[in-house]
Structure 1
Amino acid sequence: MNKIKQSLISIIILLFWIMSIIDFFGAFKFNIALSDLFVILLGIIYLIDIRQFRFKKDFPHWWYFFLLLVALFISNIAALCFKDINAVGTMGIVSEIIKFLIIGVYFFVGYNSFSDQKSFNKIIKIWIIGLWLNIMLGLLVQFNYFLGNNILWHNTISTNDRFLGGFTDANLAGTYLTLSFFIVIIFIKLYRSKIYQLVGFITLVLTVFCIFMTQSRGSLAGFLVALGLYTLWNIKKLYKLVILILPLLLIVYFGFVDVDYTLFDESLLTSIEERLESAIQGEGQFLIRKNLSLASLRMGLDHPLLGVGRGNFILNSKPYIDELYDKRDDFIYNESIRSLPHNTFAGIFAEMGLIGLTIFSSIFILLLYKMWNNKNKINTVFFFALIGFGIQSLVLSLENFRGLWLLMGILFILQEIDIDISEEVQGVNINRGVIAYGVISLMVFSGLYIDVARKIPKKIVVGDEELVYSIDAKEQNQTYLLEYSLEDKAKDGTTCIQVYEKFPDGTESLLYQYQYTNANGIGKLSLERSKNVNNYIIKLKGIYNNENEYGKIKLSSLRYKIGDKVYPLHEYKYMPTWLEKIFIQKQWIWKKDIKYSIVEKSFPVWLSENIQLHDIKVNNEDITFYMSSQALVQEDKSLILEYQVDNINKSLSENHSFMRTYLINPKTSTWEIGKEYEFTIPLEGSGEDYKLQAYLNGSNDKKFPIGIFTPDSDSLVDYLNAVTHNQLVLISIKDEGTVGLTPEVTDAMRKLGFECLLKGKYRWSYLAIGGKIEGIGVIESLDDAALELKLNKGSKLGNITIPFELHMKSAGFDTGNISSIVIDGHEYSQNERGMNIVVYDLNKKEVVDSTYFDTHLSIYR
């Protein structure tokens, strides 16, 4: 029996990181681990062998988990008794009880995982094997994601653009990797053979790499602090080893950068940098975590003894978030009111009060006390692992993490068994092996550095101070092509680009001038051959209406081409100026073309977990998709088309991109498995070249590139300009109708007499009556509340007499969500999202058109 128990415990430690979110009966969701199956088998074995079980010997800390359950039960019962607390039902309480029972079981598994030095060594080796499996699986899935093959093998919270391993959340993966890093150090100290040492050092490097790949800022902060403190504590023993590891870390870093930029267009590194930058600036998820932590503390202070009940934080957090963050319609607010506390100890305080927090913290205090009294070599290493966990617990909810409680059980039993590990790191002698390592490392590093240095431009920050670049055109005998890639993340900023011809007498003539607002894309300008031109001068400037957004407009590339030769005007990120000049002269720089066309994919492709795209047919008027489902689809899916101009200088408006959403017909919930369905939708846009992608709602990680097209559909501008002088135009907005508006629309509406002050009025109500009629008294109402207008037959609009009874309504999404235009008792409004428009001809005395434009998305119909 004991051998079976130990075998099952080993399997549990090996597989606990393989997890999936399971929905049980539609009542509650659980993070289920593959190891849970073996936990059940282990429980059965213990029941069969119940006579051998002794609480004092096998589970002396049962009291802790018993008290946790008691505190949970009391806090939830109390929450049900207070009317001011929103509480989960019986199933919710059962769910929380099961979670605490699970962590107790995993503590028990860890506590009984070994009994002597030999079995301890085995458990550490099993943990390392599981870590390797986790790393290999995680990197395989993540790299496939960025290559366009999203492997969906389990239900997760995070997406595969971040390292998950087998976990459901990148934050859990980061915590697991941090704890595992220090377990690898133990492994290196336990196993002294050269092969094991090499495996250990490689594992350390891979573990660090994967922590960065999780993009979990909380995990990264906890790991770096713990690693820094550990290094300082052991600096006398580790400095030689650190010197040897540095070249390997540089090789790994430049190798990663090279692969990322070459295969993934720098999307991995950009994602990591953006997440770190938002944390440093106190934006995004950092602000969400701050809101949640403060809300947890305030909630706990309002209910100090028992809290609001375990599992009730989300149900009660909104009033606290409202006090902390006064923005109701943005991402930060919506994420804050639907998230867990993301602070382990503050969350326990909010939900279980001081009583629950005291009980929960007691096990950690007891462990630290035992470790302090047992100051052996192995405890020193694990102490820094616990520091990493402590920092991560400030921004993550880790109380239910199985890996943590496995380790806690291991650490408690470790205090009762004398485990010997080597304190000294083997000396590093300067021998032929070290010299060979140095030479090979230098060669590999040099090759990677040169390859990376010739590829990656340094981004040009466009600011208030004008940037000036010059292109020598004295020897020009063919056309130059100027290209730049603009990244504008400023909410309220403008980019100005001017290109001048400079003549021999020093005078300049403006050749091109463009202004961009919120443009992200490629700009191309043709500089035709001219004998009288000495130079082309490029001037860049950014105008920021909010000083806090300074630096959020950048050029990721600025260059010109003569035939197949490329001449960058920017600096390179990793290359000094003197080396850059040599590379440009020799044309050793990487000549990767800026991508304009979309690579074709072979069919079939997956648009979601269950829906396949078999073929697609497209012209400049419409697109037909041929799809089937491989399993029953529970919801009715919509197909989303994403338009982006191929060259921002060809764009007729400031709106360089837009999306349109179409409910698939027949509805996907009615599809038969395996049967092919076709779905045709119109192409929209006018007079521009668009890069087009498609994806299903909820599956924007599976965007399918279609190609580049030049549609010529009707726009709102064309429609308004076509109104004649004897026609009344009646407008009513439903839901939201302002985001997609462009300056061209504003100009067209002003020709009808409207002020059109709609910019920034998200989900406001809007009613308007106007036209190109001399002497008309224009009516225009705009409010964040619902609007209603009634006019009797014979009413005057300036010099115009209304020949009908009129009743109009407009309401944004939050205030009624309706559009109504009733003329002589008949409803003419389409009552769709955006601008609903009715045109009445005064000469014909009849409605001549009724239409709508979904101006939340675009100005096309």
Structure 2
Amino acid sequence: MKIKFVIIFYLALICLPFDEFPFGVYGFGVNKPLSLYIFLLFLILNIPVLLRLRYKNTELIIFSCILFLIICSFYISYLRYNSIDNQYKVLNEFLGGVITYLSFKAYADIKDEKALLKMFKIILGSYILASIFGIIEFVYIYIAKSDVIISFLQLFLSPRFYGYLYSGHRIQFSFGEPSFIGFHLFLVVFPIILLLNFKGYKIGKLLKFNTCIFLLLSFISLSGKFILDFLVFILAYIFLYKERLTTTKFKLLGLLSIVTLIGGFYLLNYTDLFSRFQNGLYEDSSGRVRSDLSIISLIAIKDHQLMGYGLGNFLDAFKNNISYVDESFGDNYELVTDYYLQNFYLHCYNMYGRILTETGIVGVFIFILIFFKLAKYSKHNFNKFVSVLLLYNLLQVDTFSFFQLSFWIALFLSPSFWEFLNMERKGEQEFEAETKAS
């Protein structure tokens, strides 16, 4: 089997740093990365390849289970609300994840180690674009507030960037908002760099320089989530790779953690940060919204225990429970706006809470089954490391089209990626032996 039009696949990789351009910027009604649609074109041109690919039982079970929950949600929503509009959005979201997954599966299953290396390096190189945006935003905030810069940025970023630049003085690169930085830096860039380092591949000076710029500018995003993501990344690395760490490296990582924490508190104004935690984040509008939605997502199962509210119907769970969770929610603009919305797809920003509320006990059982099906492919240290990061980040995102999730699962299930892992430097346990043992 030979994959065709691979240049289209590489073009999709180059566009990965664009979270909202052009669909979320120009009001096309879709807020998905440009890459997704280029991946779709790539798949259409390689339909014969897709039909001849071998699909594991794990893949078929996961696909069938999620599709079953979506079909159930259509049925539940039609019976309870006489509307299935939100379920079409869920289906669209699911298809986005499938498109990303199949694109990387088609590439990884057919290509060899050199091709995988090329893919990883193109992904790293694509973030040079993100850094360029970060530098431009830095210039605007700290050097020259120019209308020319604003005119350029508004071509690629959604209107929300005005608030981050004008009032917040926050850098967001080419992403949807500053809080998305961790998804790119700690779930894509750093894991790939670590993987290439373990295999002994050298990363070019330009990519090293860009990574340093990317990291330094990320601190100026003034995102508390970025600081937390960085600390979790360091702790996960220390825990899972402690055998690799010399005393010097361990001390350096400890020092880096302390510097990150102190630097983060300084940049974010530590007095305000402590007061926000002391008051349960209620002094912060966004923090209060996320806190209320997360609590609701955990308690709303009491309303519909077996099958939940149905995928896409979190807004109804919100309306039925917000007054119990936050009696004074009326003084928060975002919460009030959400309450009076009709037929709207409301996010709870927590995948675990979403599964609990929208799919009930049946859905929880299904996702536990999926978890154990995937766990046997995560016994290699690197896979464990990325899996821990993914599980942590699902506390902050609730979409089935989460690119990083589809990307890594596709690689974990790919035989060529197992071979790629097997060729790491000495000191790593043989992944093939681990897979057989499982």
Q: Check the 8 A contact 1:137/1:166 in 2, yes or no.
A: yes
Report the Cα distance in structure 2 between the residues aligned to 1:365 and 1:176, rounded to whole angstroms. Answer: 26
Q: Check the 8 A contact 1:75/1:310 in 2, yes or no.
A: yes
Report the Cα distance in structure 2 between the residues aligned to 1:392 and 1:280, rounded to whole angstroms. Answer: 23
Cα pair distance change 1:34/1:273, threshold 3 Å: farther
- The residue that corresponds to 2:114 in the other structure is 118
- The residue that corresponds to 1:312 in the other structure is 313
CA offsets 1:19-42 (integer angstroms, 9 cap, x no match): 32737998x932122213322321
- The residue that corresponds to 2:425 in the other structure is 422
Offset of 1:361 from its aligned partner? 4.9
* From 347, 358, 378, the counterpart of 1:351: 358
Offset of 1:346 from its aligned partner? 0.8
Q: Is 2:177 the partner of 1:169?
A: yes
Report the Cα distance in structure 2 between the residues aligned to 1:118 and 1:357, rounded to whole angstroms. Answer: 40
- The residue that corresponds to 1:29 in the other structure is 29
Offset of 1:129 from its aligned partner? 1.0
Report the Cα distance in structure 1 between the residues aligned to 2:322 and 2:92, rounded to whole angstroms. Answer: 29
- The residue that corresponds to 2:145 in the other structure is 148
Q: Check the 8 A contact 2:128/2:210 in 1, yes or no.
A: yes
- The residue that corresponds to 2:375 in the other structure is 368
* Counterpart residue type for residue 69 of structure 1: L
- The residue that corresponds to 2:384 in the other structure is 383
Offset of 1:221 from its aligned partner? 2.3
* Counterpart residue type for residue 410 of structure 2: G
CA offsets 1:394-446 (integer angstroms, 9 cap, x no match): 23334332232112212221586322122579xxxxxxxxxxxxxxxxxxxxx
Cα pair distance change 1:183/1:169, threshold 3 Å: same
Cα pair distance change 1:56/1:238, threshold 3 Å: same
SS at match of 1:314: helix
Cα pair distance change 1:392/1:44, threshold 3 Å: closer
CA offsets 1:33-55 (integer angstroms, 9 cap, x no match): 221332232122123x36x7225
- The residue that corresponds to 1:68 in the other structure is 66
Determine which structure has the larger helix proportion and give its number. Answer: 2
Residues 469-548 of structure 1 mapped to structure 2, 5 A cutoff = none
Q: Alignment identity in percent?
A: 17
* From 171, 186, 195, the counterpart of 1:178: 186
- The residue that corresponds to 1:96 in the other structure is 90
- The residue that corresponds to 1:80 in the other structure is 78
Residues 708-723 of structure 1 mapped to structure 2, 5 A cutoff = none
Q: Check the 8 A contact 1:106/1:405 in 2, yes or no.
A: yes
Residues 676-691 of structure 1 mapped to structure 2, 5 A cutoff = none
Report the Cα distance in structure 2 between the residues aligned to 1:57 and 1:199, rounded to whole angstroms. Answer: 38
Q: Check the 8 A contact 1:20/1:155 in 2, yes or no.
A: yes
Q: Check the 8 A contact 2:77/2:84 in 1, yes or no.
A: no
* Counterpart residue type for residue 36 of structure 1: L
Cα pair distance change 1:253/1:349, threshold 3 Å: closer
Q: Is 2:227 the partner of 1:220?
A: yes
Offset of 1:101 from its aligned partner? 0.6
Q: Is 2:225 the partner of 1:231?
A: no
Q: Check the 8 A contact 1:72/1:352 in 2, yes or no.
A: no
- The residue that corresponds to 2:325 in the other structure is 324
Offset of 1:390 from its aligned partner? 2.0
Residues 681-760 of structure 1 mapped to structure 2, 5 A cutoff = none
* From 133, 140, 143, the counterpart of 1:137: 133
Cα pair distance change 1:213/1:386, threshold 3 Å: farther
Q: Check the 8 A contact 1:222/1:389 in 2, yes or no.
A: no
Count residues in correspondence.
400
Report the Cα distance in structure 1 between the residues aligned to 2:317 and 2:160, rounded to whole angstroms. Answer: 22
Q: Check the 8 A contact 2:19/2:32 in 1, yes or no.
A: yes
- The residue that corresponds to 2:434 in the other structure is none
- The residue that corresponds to 1:836 in the other structure is none
Report the Cα distance in structure 2 between the residues aligned to 1:305 and 1:25, rounded to whole angstroms. Answer: 41
Residues 382-781 of structure 1 mapped to structure 2, 5 A cutoff = 382-413=383-414, 417-419=418-420, 420-422=423-425
SS at match of 2:20: strand
Instruction: Structure 1: give runs of 5+ residues left out of the alignment.
Output: 258-267, 373-378, 426-861
CA offsets 1:271-322 (integer angstroms, 9 cap, x no match): 7874575246522244332211121122223212222122221244123111
- The residue that corresponds to 1:6 in the other structure is 6
SS at match of 1:306: coil
Q: Which has the larger radius of gyration?
A: 1
Report the Cα distance in structure 2 between the residues aligned to 1:273 and 1:187, rounded to whole angstroms. Answer: 40
Report the Cα distance in structure 1 between the residues aligned to 2:112 and 2:54, rounded to whole angstroms. Answer: 18
Cα pair distance change 1:243/1:353, threshold 3 Å: closer
Offset of 1:342 from its aligned partner? 1.3
* Counterpart residue type for residue 39 of structure 1: F
* From 81, 102, 107, the counterpart of 2:101: 107
CA offsets 1:661-706 (integer angstroms, 9 cap, x no match): xxxxxxxxxxxxxxxxxxxxxxxxxxxxxxxxxxxxxxxxxxxxxx
**Aligned residues: CA RMSD:** 3.9
Report the Cα distance in structure 1 between the residues aligned to 2:303 and 2:403, rounded to whole angstroms. Answer: 31
CA offsets 1:340-368 (integer angstroms, 9 cap, x no match): 21111111221222333444454443222
Q: Check the 8 A contact 1:213/1:272 in 2, yes or no.
A: no
Q: Check the 8 A contact 1:18/1:33 in 2, yes or no.
A: yes
Cα pair distance change 1:366/1:253, threshold 3 Å: closer
CA offsets 1:599-631 (integer angstroms, 9 cap, x no match): xxxxxxxxxxxxxxxxxxxxxxxxxxxxxxxxx
Residues 808-847 of structure 1 mapped to structure 2, 5 A cutoff = none
Report the Cα distance in structure 1 between the residues aligned to 2:26 and 2:215, rounded to whole angstroms. Answer: 39
* Counterpart residue type for residue 293 of structure 2: L
Cα pair distance change 1:301/1:414, threshold 3 Å: farther
Q: Check the 8 A contact 1:288/1:336 in 2, yes or no.
A: no
Report the Cα distance in structure 2 between the residues aligned to 1:270 and 1:36, rounded to whole angstroms. Answer: 34
SS at match of 1:371: coil
SS at match of 1:282: coil
Cα pair distance change 1:407/1:164, threshold 3 Å: farther
Instruction: Structure 2: give runs of 5+ residues left out of the alignment.
Output: 429-438
Q: Check the 8 A contact 2:58/2:373 in 1, yes or no.
A: no
* Counterpart residue type for residue 187 of structure 2: L
Cα pair distance change 1:215/1:277, threshold 3 Å: farther
Cα pair distance change 1:281/1:177, threshold 3 Å: farther
* Counterpart residue type for residue 164 of structure 1: Q
Report the Cα distance in structure 1 between the residues aligned to 2:93 and 2:65, rounded to whole angstroms. Answer: 14
Q: Check the 8 A contact 2:131/2:210 in 1, yes or no.
A: no
Q: Check the 8 A contact 1:217/1:279 in 2, yes or no.
A: no
Report the Cα distance in structure 1 between the residues aligned to 2:123 and 2:100, rounded to whole angstroms. Answer: 14
Q: Check the 8 A contact 2:377/2:383 in 1, yes or no.
A: no
Cα pair distance change 1:360/1:11, threshold 3 Å: farther
Q: Check the 8 A contact 1:221/1:391 in 2, yes or no.
A: no
TM-score by length of 2: 0.76
TM-score by length of 1: 0.41
* Counterpart residue type for residue 135 of structure 1: S
Report the Cα distance in structure 1 between the residues aligned to 2:107 and 2:124, rounded to whole angstroms. Answer: 15
Report the Cα distance in structure 1 between the residues aligned to 2:17 and 2:211, rounded to whole angstroms. Answer: 18
Cα pair distance change 1:45/1:272, threshold 3 Å: farther
* Counterpart residue type for residue 374 of structure 2: L
Offset of 1:228 from its aligned partner? 1.6
Offset of 1:171 from its aligned partner? 3.0
Report the Cα distance in structure 2 between the residues aligned to 1:211 and 1:55, rounded to whole angstroms. Answer: 40
